[in-house]
Structure 1
Amino acid sequence: MKQSVQGSAEAGTPERRTTGGSRVPAQARRADTLDGCRERDDTAVPAARGEHTHSERPIPGPRPAVRRSSVRGQILDALRTALVTGELQPGEVYSGPVLGERFGVSATPVREAMQQLALEGAVEVVPNRGFRVVERGARELAELAEVRALIEVPVMLRLARTVPGERWAELRPLAQETVRAAADGCPATYAESDRAFHGALLALSGNEQLVGVAADLHRRSQWPPVRRLRAYLVADAEEHIALLDALIAGDVDVVRGLVTEHFAGAAS
């Protein structure tokens, strides 16, 4: 979680603590972060000062509220990444003002992003202190995997019988991206590519409500991060390739075996 809305974080800035004593992730820039993750440009928040010269004519009408929404969205993405990588620790309390200072913004967009995370079940509100990162045990993670399987497996089997092979073939770049992300060993990058692949598969059903519910369950199952060896991630990603090959070939029996095993592995 190394972004700053106003610009790059200054090297050597000390860690700060919330009023509850919890630590805010270090903001010193470095090439490698937790679990082999490399700093990502797509989550960086660009600086935008909105300066203009006297030769420019002002745009009439009220100022649009795009910038604030953009900042809130980028902070939300950064917080999600920090949850997946473990930079925001389960059980720890983080305050809006301290995280706002960390990002170089006011506490308001941070609180708004945290409220969204609370709706997603990643954090819980601690009155007068901030937000506590939710702790999930093995049983809850296994239950999430079971619910995902109950939703996704029947849909995948139905789609395997109805969707032509060329449509499945179009998703190969997404499956290959999961393999590349697994090889890099970054849990945040892999989590993102994993959700993208599963979401694209289910999107062929044409049921937006299904895709939304499945995506929410998938995201919940990725918090807090389960420490996986890189070999596990690679094996998980290779299952995506095998599944896609079976879908392209229209082999429903192989598809059934692969998706069942895939979710069984997620539950373990």
Structure 2
Amino acid sequence: MGHLKARNLVTAHERLRDQVAHALRAALISGELRPGEVYSAPTLAEDFGISATPVREAMLDLAREGLVEPVRNKGFRITEVNERDLDQYTEIRTLIEVPTVGRITKTASKADLEALRPIAEEIVRAAHDHDLIGYLEADRRFHLSLLALAGNDRLVDTVGELRKRSRLYGLTALDQRGELIPSAEEHLELLELMLSGDAEAAEQCMTRHLGHVRSLWAKGKADGADGADGEPTRRKR
């Protein structure tokens, strides 16, 4: 019984670490955590109201994803993504996702594609409701679930990793201006084209969508210089 209790404690600890990592990713994407700034695990732990250990472990998880880098005796610096990085991420995603969408359009069943509609609608709803976390999570699920229909797990893992590294900066400001809505609605447009069996049009839509996302990256980085309301982000420590 003692062994089982210990096992449950480990599971609970890992779950807390994952929750913290998710919250930190959200804070980074929203612009609350600023690129180039150094944050200590104890300081962040105070914000969360927990001990520093799960925060430190979560930051190490983010370091493995390239989102932060350890700074000796200080904490973790939020890594900056330059324009060249973003262009390269977009190019790789385009090379992978565009032809894959064309192939899936020809091979996937209508039932499998229709199963993605609730997620596409969730993205649009979240954009209208200014639910930033819901928007990001639904967007991730839609793209990765769609690619999974190709039957290549490594392809899905690769795109998932690229999505983590090519995060949006200052997304809160874009959300407040309603600039996420057109990108959100493109998911439904893509789905309709795929259901119609028009592979060429679906590929064109995906190409346009990835270009749209790239433009949001650029705007987000520009907005990320300030907080969502034009003031410096408050959690700068």
Measured on the aligned residues, the alpha-carbon RMSD in Å equals 1.7
Q: Is 1:69 the equivalent of 2:14?
A: yes
Q: How many equivalent residue pairs? A: 210
Q: Is 1:219 the equivalent of 2:164?
A: yes
Partner of 2:202: 255
* Contact 1:94 1:132 survives alignment (8 Å): yes
Equivalent runs, 1:1-268 vs 2, <5 Å = 59-61=1-3, 63-64=6-7, 65-226=10-171, 227-228=173-174, 230-268=177-215
Partner of 1:43: none
Q: How far apart in 2 are the matches of 1:186 and 1:86?
A: 15
Runs of 4+ in 1 over 6 A off after TM superposition: none
Matched AA of 1:246: L
CA deviation vs aligned residue, 1:154-193 (integer Å, no higher than 9, x gap): 1111111111222101110000001011112344332221
Residue 174 of structure 2 aligns to a residue whose secondary structure is: coil
Q: How far apart in 1 are the matches of 2:125 and 2:165?
A: 23
Instruction: Please list every run of 5 or more consecutive structure 2 residues that lacks an aligned counterpart in the other structure.
Output: 216-237
Compute the TM-score of the two structures, normalised by the length of structure 2. 0.83
Cα deviation, residue 231, structure 1: 3.4
Cα deviation, residue 123, structure 1: 0.7
* Contact 1:191 1:222 survives alignment (8 Å): no
Cα deviation, residue 223, structure 1: 4.1
Cα deviation, residue 93, structure 1: 0.6
Higher alpha-carbon deviation: 59-68 or 169-178: 59-68
Q: How far apart in 1 are the matches of 2:183 and 2:168?
A: 17
Point out the structure with the larger helix share.
2
Cα deviation, residue 225, structure 1: 3.8
* Contact 2:30 2:168 survives alignment (8 Å): no
Q: How far apart in 2 are the matches of 1:98 and 1:266?
A: 33
Q: How far apart in 1 are the matches of 2:179 and 2:45?
A: 36
Partner of 2:233: none
Q: How far apart in 1 are the matches of 2:113 and 2:104?
A: 10
Cα deviation, residue 60, structure 1: 4.2
Instruction: Please list every run of 5 or more consecutive structure 1 residues that lacks an aligned counterpart in the other structure.
Output: 1-58
Compute the TM-score of the two structures, normalised by the length of structure 1. 0.74
Higher relative contact order (CA 8 A, sep 6+): 2
